[in-house]
Amino acid sequence: MGNIEERCASIRAQIAETEAKLARLKLDLANVEQAAAASTTQDAVSGMQGKNKSNWPLLDEEYKRYGRQMIVKNVGLQGQLKLKSAKVLIVGAGGLGCPSAMYLASAGVGTLGLVDGDTVDLSNLHRQVLHHSGNVGMLKVDSAIDYLKKLNPHLTYIPHRGHLTPQEAPDIFKNYDLILDCTDNPATRYLVSDTAVALGKPLVSASALRTDGQLMVLNYPPRPAGDKTGGPCYRCVFPKPPPADSVVSCADGGILGPVVGTMGVVQALEAIKIITAPAGEAETNGVPGNPTTSPSLLIFSAYSTPPFRSIRLRSRRPNCAVCSAEASVTLDTITSGSTDYVFFCGTANPPSLLSPEERISAAEYGRIVQQSLPSRVQSETLSKTKPPMTIDVREKVQFDICHLDNSINIPISEILASRPQLQPTEKDDQALSNGTGAGSQSPLPPWFPADIVSTDSTDPIYVVCRLGNDSQIAVKKFKELGLDRGGERFICDIRGGLRAWRNEVDPTWPEY
């Protein structure tokens, strides 16, 4: 046993050493690519300057390219020169990062870095506008830069291929003037904000889900920890992360493309405002009582009138773990791993609420469905076999996209809004069959179909959802409501949900 433990410890040490070496190699590659890109850009600029033989601060082509924004008084020539010398890092090359990068590149930001470890998927294309069908499977960073180089070849583009880690974040961030958080999970948002504050970098943070979005400019002006004149950080606004199980991704909650595009465009706008701001203007940001400069939370709702509204934010929290005088999160705690972002935000593991006996596979359910179908040689009597009682607990909008034959839609939101009922008694049978309740019992929920609450039925109930998570919750709720009649009626969920149905039974099932 001792030898096995020693061997395991040795392997773990080798893995840690290899991962550290890989991180160093990635950083070296990024630095070499940055130097090469800068050299190429400088050579191109020098060549064009040689051709132009001009003493003007911009190239002839740049005056024409950026002229429409330079004549805006908020920008001007000096603002354009600031943009040209600025270095901006975009963390995330998805729905927010794509429009942000597109408009910053178009505006002439000199150096644009992108961090992302994902590849382009077909489901990304309705909102991630830098990618296209031909780049499916390609790293998002490479796909985005491929487009951006064609949009504006004068910039230096730096790819950071990989998901942002606490060990690499400070070394990446230190080379940039401004950070844009275009990520989609709390752990990375806290990491980005903490690192930006520790290095004194302003941060533009945004998020979007379904038809809503929000945006904040954080750590602006950037100040050392304990300086009350600095802008608040992400932890000042959200000292505690949301419960892990309450975090909904775009894949689960959905997203309207123009919504996330709107927030990404506003991120780019805020970045341009920060870069081109006159010297000293940022000094007044965050001053209490100044409504024009106080930090704020911009909220966007596509189906509200008006769609935009703004909420003033408080200045730095006096007990903030990052930007207060009592800061406990520093560069050392970030890079060493002692600030554990996964632990802090929690992990949203799929619930395992049911025993194996309360679950069946999609393949098993498929056989049950097949057995209920009449064959050509069956008699008229046998052909009337009832299909299995199946309840689909997805929301109606998803049920309308596709659903199993003969399934009944009862959204999980309606189920969770119901209160547990008392177990039915013989005196309550008639009332239960009518769905009205009796005696001291409360009325049963209105979503109960009559054939489910029928007192003389012991037919099994099969519950399905998209991934096999909500269906488990629904089964537990059905039993709390007494639908299993103390175990007399079998209620189970389909393990893995409709995704498993596609993988195990019907490959033509729509994947959305």
**In CATH, what number is assigned to the domain containing residue 118?**
3.40.50.720
Mean pLDDT value across residues 45-51: 49
Residues 194 and 323 in one domain: yes
Q: What is the pLDDT of residue 425?
A: 44
Longest dimension (CA), the chain: 99
Is the residue at 345 inside a domain?
no
Asked whether residue 213 is domain-assigned, the answer is: yes
Do 235 and 354 belong to one domain? no
**pLDDT value, residue 382:** 45
Q: For residue 39, what pLDDT band results from cuts at 50, 70 and 90?
A: low
Same domain for 266 and 408, yes or no, is: no
pLDDT tens-digit series, residues 176-212: 999 999 999 999 999 999 999 999 999 999 999 999 9
User: Do 220 and 80 reside in the same domain of the chain?
Assistant: yes
Residue 317 lies in a domain: yes
Angle (deg, nearest 10), helices 76-85 and 60-70: 120
Instruction: Give the Cβ contact number of residue 232 at 10 Å.
Output: 24
Q: What are the pLDDT digits (tens) for 336-385?
A: 999 999 899 886 666 678 999 999 999 999 999 998 886 544 444 444 56
Residue 302 and residue 356 in one domain? no
Q: Residue 428 has what pLDDT?
A: 44
State the catalytic residues: 250, 465
Q: Say if 219 falls within a structural domain.
A: yes
> pLDDT by residue (tens digit) across 211-263?
999 999 999 999 999 999 999 999 999 999 988 777 777 877 899 999 999 99
Which residue range forms the structural domain that includes residue 316?
A: 60-279+294-336
pLDDT tens digits, one per residue of 165-181: 999 999 999 999 999 99
Chain-centre distance for alpha carbon 73 = 37
Query: Are 96 and 123 in a shared domain?
Result: yes
Same-domain status, 219 and 95: yes
Q: How far apart are CA 494 and CA 153, in angstroms?
A: 52
Q: Are residues 82 and 152 in the same domain?
A: yes
**Is residue 108 a part of any domain in this protein?**
yes
Inside any domain, residue 93: yes
Better-predicted residue by pLDDT, 42 or 261: 261
Q: Is residue 30 part of a domain?
A: no
Where helices occur in 373-496 by DSSP H, the ranges are 396-399, 412-416, 429-434, 450-453, 470-480
CA distance 337 to 413: 39
Assigned domain for 75 exists:
yes
pTM of the model: 0.79
For residue 264, which phi and psi values (nearest 5 degrees)?
Answer: -65, -40
Residues 186 and 84 in one domain: yes
233 is in an annotated binding site: yes
Torsion of CA 56, 57, 62, 64, to 10 degrees: -40
The domain total for the chain is: 2
Q: Which helix (H) or strand (E) covers residue 16, if one does?
A: helix 2-52
**Coil/strand/helix, residue 331:** helix
- The number of beta carbons lying within 10 Å of the beta carbon of residue 289 is 6
* Integer Cα distance of 76 and 208 in angstroms: 32
Closest CA to 147 of 168, 163, 132: 132
The response to whether 320 counts as a known ligand-binding position is yes
Residue 127, annotated as binding a ligand: yes
* Helix (H) or strand (E) segment spanning residue 173: helix 169-173
- CA distances to 53, 58, 243 from 45, rounded to whole Å, are 12, 10, 51
pLDDT in tens, 426-477: 444 444 444 444 333 445 677 777 666 565 678 899 999 999 999 999 999 9
* Average pLDDT along the chain: 86
Residue 345 assigned to a binding site: no
According to the annotation, is 43 in a ligand binding site?
no
| Domain identity same for 270 and 392 | no
Q: Does 194 count as an annotated binding residue?
A: no
**Which CATH number is 474's domain given?**
3.40.250.10
356 and 313 housed in the same domain: no
Residue 319 and residue 456 share a domain: no
DSSP for 249-301 reads -HHHH-B-HHHHHHHHHHHHHHHHHHHHPPTTGGGGTT-TT-TTTS-EEEEEE
